[in-house]
Structure 1
Amino acid sequence: MSSAFEHTLAAIDALHAQDPRPTTLADGTSHPQELIYAQRMSRWLERLQETPSELLRIAVRAQHLQRWQLPRSDYPEGRIGYLTWRRDQSAQAGDTTAALMEEAGYSQEEAKRVASMIRKQGLGRDSDVQALEDCACLVFLENYFADFSRKVEHDHMVRIVQKTWGKMSPQAHALALTLPMNDACATLVKEALDSH
């Protein structure tokens, strides 16, 4: 690993650690929500690729960088509000990460490349962007799907699973089908895939 990579990752994690929202893990310990999310993203990348590039590893680690600073509640309800929030959040995370990278010694081109990955520009055509999307989908399915599905109306949840599935690579599909799920979640996934 280059020293620029190590400096950038440390700077990203220092910002993640400022997240005021705690998350409690299975062992009862409490940690900043965003830091745990970032670590989960990195773990999935290790399972998806044997030797991911430094730039992809940075993009995956920084995908939600300082997301708490742009609350979803500041945007209108509905799909347009959601998509606007997602666009603004990814632009902020990309710009902040690019600045951290340049400070650590990466070139402007490398920093721009990571920012475009975080914005998911080229999804469906760019293998690095696909890997980042796969990690996000797998983290969601493994860690947040069960809670989320209890708060969202059934038919809407089926559509969410279908959309999530549609964004994933065949490799990520195979990994997703090995995840342990409660009966309600497993039924939701089966229904979504059967009618997809």
Structure 2
Amino acid sequence: MSTPYTKALAAIDAAHAFDPNKVTIDGAEIPYELHYAQKCTSYLTKRCPTASEPLRLAIRAQHFRRWEVPRSSYPMTRPGYHAWRSFLKTRQASLVEAICLESGFSSEDAATVGALIRKEGLKVNEETMVLEDVACLVFLDDQFEAFEKEHDEEKIALEGL
């Protein structure tokens, strides 16, 4: 029997499957954002095994269709980076809120998913803090090595990238 949660999760993962960027995991090539979403879910299970459905969906969708708005579409400066991230959070939250509503979630729960994706209340909302913890863990586990190779250590320290 499908539930609003399983419907929304399936729709999110179906969208992730369209990511043209691929990664090879255990000999199989999969869309990068699907891999990222699955890794986020894995870390969430370790960090907060009793996570609410809105948090589980927000974790799964925090990079929703991110490949459609490449970093290069904004100035390669710190303000450009922040503008890109701000746009993505708003866009991703809106798209995923719509999926939640179409899947049968209440408007309140859909809005909660959106607020989590936008990282509202980061310093005071426990679920938003968990989402950020998971994002940081996945970055360290999955992306830090490549980031370190691409960025000058001194520039990172001086500019706070």
TM-score bracket, normalised by the shorter chain, equals over 0.9
1:12 corresponding residue in structure 2? 12
- The CA deviation at 1:131 is 0.5
Q: Give me the whole-angstrom Cα distance separating, in 2, the residues matched to 1:114 and 1:156.
A: 35
- The CA deviation at 1:155 is 2.3
Q: Give me the whole-angstrom Cα distance separating, in 2, the residues matched to 1:158 and 1:105.
A: 46
2:151 corresponding residue in structure 1? 152
Higher relative contact order (CA 8 A, sep 6+): 2
- The CA deviation at 1:151 is 1.2
Q: Give me the whole-angstrom Cα distance separating, in 2, the residues matched to 1:147 and 1:55.
A: 31
Q: Give me the whole-angstrom Cα distance separating, in 1, the residues matched to 2:55 and 2:36.
A: 16
Write the mapping of 1:98-177 to structure 2, written as runs, cut at 5 A. Answer: 98-158=97-157
Count the aligned residue pairs.
161
1:75/1:82 contact within 8 Å kept: yes
1:41 corresponding residue in structure 2? 40
AA partner of residue 3 (structure 1): T
Q: Secondary structure at the match of 1:24?
A: strand
Question: Percent identical across equivalent pairs?
Answer: 42
Larger Rg: 1
- Structure 2: unaligned runs, 5 residues or longer: none
TM-score calculated relative to the size of structure 2 = 0.94
- Structure 1: unaligned runs, 5 residues or longer: 164-196
Q: Give me the whole-angstrom Cα distance separating, in 2, the residues matched to 1:91 and 1:129.
A: 15
AA partner of residue 147 (structure 2): F
AA partner of residue 114 (structure 2): A
Q: Give me the whole-angstrom Cα distance separating, in 2, the residues matched to 1:58 and 1:131.
A: 13
1:149/1:157 contact within 8 Å kept: no
AA partner of residue 126 (structure 2): S
Computed over aligned residues only, the root mean square deviation of the Cα atoms, in angstroms, reads 1.8
TM-score calculated relative to the size of structure 1 = 0.78
